[in-house]
Amino acid sequence: MIPWWFKFAYLAFVAVLVPVYALEHGWVSFLWFSNLALIGGLMAAWLESPRLASMMLVAVLLLEMGWIADFVGSLLLLGTAPLGGVDYLYDPGIALPVRLLSLYHLLLPFVLLWLVWRLGYDRTAWRPWIPIGLSVLVLSFLLSSRERNVNWVWGPGGEPQQWMPPEAWLALVLAFCGLVWWSTHMLILHVLQRWGLRINR
């Protein structure tokens, strides 16, 4: 169901990105949901797994659309990101090839949508993803730092927040992401049912 050319092209891109990101950002950067979804999408393509593709789509669809909106906004505002999520793209301290690799965010949600369209949507995928995603947030809090701020567990955008204890902020992030993932699942389900596309039960 997934063409071989797509599988190998996807694999080649990830094979370049992983060592570059590991050297530039460190292994903890792979806790970012976008990076997890990129690798999870590769596994879903090779395994042709509807459940894994659906989990990755639930994980990042709305979040990646926020990244894309922030990127487009930064272009319109000549380098000022409205949400602060793409500020690093304008950081001259990060090598240009590394920043260009990050443009995969522009394609990732559409690649995952295409995989789900080809493989079918697993309507139960949100159930395992939510505890996995919440665990990733807790790991991000324990393993990253205020400066790295993986998955914004220390504050919105690139800066740690100062309004409340870090644990209280983490609790808000956990609740927010859980709501986003549930909402994403319901949105996908509604759209697929409306369009008469395949839903795996």
Q: What are 75-100's pLDDT values in tens digits?
A: 888 777 777 788 888 888 888 999 99
Question: Is the pLDDT reported for residue 112 higher than 90?
Answer: yes
Q: What are 39-56's pLDDT values in tens digits?
A: 999 999 999 999 999 999
* Total Cβ atoms within 10 A of residue 28: 15
Domain span at residue 22 reads 4-200
Note if the pTM is more than 0.85.
Answer: yes
% pLDDT > 90, the chain: 66
Number of domains present in the structure of the chain: 1
Give Cβ neighbours of residue 117 (< 8 Å, ≥ 6 apart). Answer: 197
Q: What are 160-173's pLDDT values in tens digits?
A: 888 889 999 999 99
Report helix, strand or coil for 81.
coil
Q: How confident is the model at residue 196 (pLDDT cuts 50, 70, 90)?
A: low
